[in-house]
Amino acid sequence: MNYEQAKEIINSPDFIEVLYNGNSVWIEGLNPDRQTAVISSDTFPDGNKTVLLEQLVDARE
């Protein structure tokens, strides 16, 4: 996923599933300079994780 795709998903009024390592996650924030996203999931022990945008997949694709 690239920054523009992630930004579109965050701003969408619809729920758009995003996958990280095959698991559904929520994008909490974006850093365009570093091309990273803060994501959250019930499966993360600490709640949030920062990952490269290229590691995220739009489940619609």
What are the tens digits of pLDDT across the range 8-50?
Answer: 999 999 999 999 999 999 999 999 999 999 999 988 888 899 9
Domain that holds residue 11: 3-58
Per-residue burial over 8-33, b if 16 or more Cβ lie within 10 Å, else e, is ebeeeeeeeebebeeeebbbeebeee
Q: What pLDDT shows up at residue 12? A: 96
Q: What pLDDT shows up at residue 45? A: 83
Which CATH number does the domain housing residue 10 bear? Answer: 2.30.30
Quote the CA–CA distance of 57 and 61 in Å, as a whole number.
Answer: 8
Q: What pLDDT shows up at residue 57? A: 97
CA–CA distances in Å: residue 59 to residues 2, 3, 9, 31: 14, 16, 11, 21
Q: Count how many domains the chain has.
A: 1
Whole-structure pTM value: 0.90
Q: What pLDDT shows up at residue 47? A: 83
